[in-house]
Structure 1
Amino acid sequence: MIELKRSRKPQDVPPSLCGQKLIEKEQELIDSVMKVRSGTLKKVEFKDSYWGKAKAQLKKESFNKCAYCESPTAVVAHGDVEHYRPKSVYWWLAYCYDNYLYSCQICNQAYKSDKFPVSADLLTEPDIRSILAGKLAIDPLAQTTLHTTFQQQLAAEKADLPNPYYEDPSPYFIWKVDDVLKEVVIAPNPAHPDAERVFKAVNDCLGLNRTELKLLRYQVFKNFKIVKLTSQRADRFSDDLIQMAIDRIAEMKDSREPYAGMVRYFDSIM
């Protein structure tokens, strides 16, 4: 996982998820919840076509990779608009743009699903008897101060799963190589006081040490190791080759590259 940045430019935010359009969607949501509470509807009606409008921008912001496992999705999968806080629990955040990120189907559907461990009390849901549409969450184009307040309210819950849009996940983790099994695993950083808690969440909710990931990461690590060792042997290789190796390391650490978080870690210790 690497840190991501959410664009607040009006041209990047789907118009259907802000302003008056968002208010209309929240009113639909409130009406649906009220019908469920009154017994006239079996379950809350969520419309995936609403959050589907966000996929293109979210995918761009996560560099065509899953925001959780950093695997590329552009070639082999469509990817999902993932609700960081699951809509089955946090129904009022179903159409909240700030609750979305781009995820591969395996992290989202096979592992995370409705899981969302927290270390404090769950957020209190809005009182539908008094809440007004437009007040359920936060307009993505609202003032910065309102976003800060909104994030502080969410932070009180002490979510165990890091949100790469809200914090840099990298300090929680280290990476370990097994050259016999040809795997690279993610592990808790013993120097971070919250690492064990966060690691358990990503392991349980996202399966970040699933076999396929460990093997793929090893291939990237092996390539990185070759260019890293090459860059350190000025006594053996030409200046041009050394520079090529240095340039390739910079490329592999770039956010656009798969498993950049892992490469950054190994570059810092090798």
Structure 2
Amino acid sequence: MRKLSRIRDMGIPPTFVGDLRKKQLLKLVKTERDIKNGILEKHKFPSTWSPCKEQLHKESYSKCAYCESPTTVVSYGDVEHYRPKSKYWWLAYCYDNYLASCTLCNQKYKKAKFKTLHTPIKPPLIKKNSTDTYLEKIVDRITPDPIQETDGVPWDTYCQEHIAERPLLLNPYIDDPKAYFGWEVSPENESVRLVPLDAQNKLHKKIVKASEEDYGINRPELCFHRFEAYLVYCAARLISEDVNIPDNYRTMQRRIRERLLRDESAYSGMLQYFEQKPTTAIIIP
């Protein structure tokens, strides 16, 4: 996992911006009123978020925002609701609640799991007798507008609510994974595992445990593919730093090393962790 940034431009489908965003929200709050009045049993969410995939892939460099595996080579991946819509119904059509995920991280592991260290953020106040006029007034204050910040909840406020809730599953658009995650190489098992950056830090340990349980972030096949990327990185690093080989070889290996570390490359977040280590601290398989 690596830090990501939103691309706030017209690549975001218009359904999630401006008046169309408010129209979707109004349906949600009216449905919530009907549920409180016993007219409906639960929310049903038409899948209008599929058009967001292309923009989300741009933001995550066509990788899963959780495990950093490529999502567009053999599958188009999922639009993942970071906060599950079954629990956070008012965020079902919030673009800032979306990220690109591989099918395994999303459907096999995370599903509707969402652990928090503090009290979860509260839903909008909807009562049995809430009038249409009241509902129309509050829809603008429920979620951010992904392009026009003045049209919805300010992005900074949305981020502060996230920090106050302190989910144990990191949001790479708000949290910086480098502040919590380290990596451990096991040559004998041919794997690289995600570990707490500080083994003594209780929060780091809780976040890694949640990532293992709810993202499958240390599933064996993923650890193996990380190890393969690590092998190539080690070879490129050692040769590019070796002054005793021909310049053209060293230049080629330096280019390979730079390519592995670039944002678009699989597991570059992990490799950048090792890039910050001195060569003497790198485990050579």
What TM-score bracket applies, with the shorter chain setting the length? over 0.9
Match for residue 218 of structure 1?
227
What is the rounded CA distance, in whole Å, between the counterparts of 1:191 and 1:178 in structure 2?
17
What is the rounded CA distance, in whole Å, between the counterparts of 1:96 and 1:251 in structure 2?
34
Match for residue 282 of structure 2?
none
RMSD: 1.6
Match for residue 134 of structure 1?
140
TM-score w.r.t. structure 2 length? 0.89
- Aligned residue runs from structure 1 range 54-65, under 5 A: 54-65=52-63
Q: CA deviation at 1:178?
A: 1.3
**Alpha-carbon deviations, 1:138-194, whole Å to 9, x = none?**
111233792112221232111111111112212211111111111111111117843
Contact 1:112–1:206, Cα closer than 8 Å, also in 2: yes
The total of aligned residue pairs comes to 267
What is the rounded CA distance, in whole Å, between the counterparts of 2:63 and 2:57 in structure 1?
7
State yes or no: 1:203 paired with 2:212: yes
Helix, strand or coil at the partner of 2:2: coil
Match for residue 18 of structure 1?
17
Unaligned runs of 5+ in 2: 280-285
Helix, strand or coil at the partner of 1:21: helix
Contact 2:181–2:204, Cα closer than 8 Å, also in 1: yes
Q: 1:143 aligns with which of 146, 149, 162?
A: 149
What is the rounded CA distance, in whole Å, between the counterparts of 2:69 and 2:30 in structure 1?
38
Contact 1:172–1:192, Cα closer than 8 Å, also in 2: no
Contact 1:251–1:257, Cα closer than 8 Å, also in 2: yes
Contact 1:116–1:159, Cα closer than 8 Å, also in 2: yes
Amino acid at match of 1:175: W
Match for residue 92 of structure 2?
94
What is the rounded CA distance, in whole Å, between the counterparts of 1:153 and 1:187 in structure 2?
27
More moved, 28-37 vs 99-108: 28-37
Match for residue 240 of structure 1?
248
Amino acid at match of 2:146: P
Q: CA deviation at 1:42?
A: 2.4
Match for residue 168 of structure 2?
160
Match for residue 172 of structure 1?
180
Q: CA deviation at 1:90?
A: 0.6
What is the rounded CA distance, in whole Å, between the counterparts of 1:86 and 1:32 in structure 2?
17
Match for residue 104 of structure 1?
102
Helix, strand or coil at the partner of 1:156: helix
What is the rounded CA distance, in whole Å, between the counterparts of 1:264 and 1:158 in structure 2?
25
TM-aligned CA distance change 1:24 to 1:192, over 3 Å: farther
Match for residue 85 of structure 1?
83
**Alpha-carbon deviations, 1:75-122, whole Å to 9, x = none?**
111211111111111101111110010000100111111111111111
Helix, strand or coil at the partner of 1:101: strand
More moved, 254-263 vs 162-171: 162-171
Match for residue 188 of structure 1?
196
Amino acid at match of 1:105: T
Match for residue 7 of structure 1?
7
Amino acid at match of 2:217: L
TM-aligned CA distance change 1:27 to 1:192, over 3 Å: farther
Contact 1:35–1:41, Cα closer than 8 Å, also in 2: yes
Q: CA deviation at 1:135?
A: 2.5
TM-score w.r.t. structure 1 length? 0.94
State yes or no: 1:30 paired with 2:29: yes
- Aligned residue runs from structure 1 range 245-264, under 5 A: 245-264=253-272
What is the rounded CA distance, in whole Å, between the counterparts of 2:182 and 2:215 in structure 1?
17
**Alpha-carbon deviations, 1:196-243, whole Å to 9, x = none?**
1211121111011001101111111111111111112111x1111111
Q: 1:229 aligns with which of 238, 253, 262?
A: 238
Contact 2:199–2:205, Cα closer than 8 Å, also in 1: no
Amino acid at match of 2:258: A
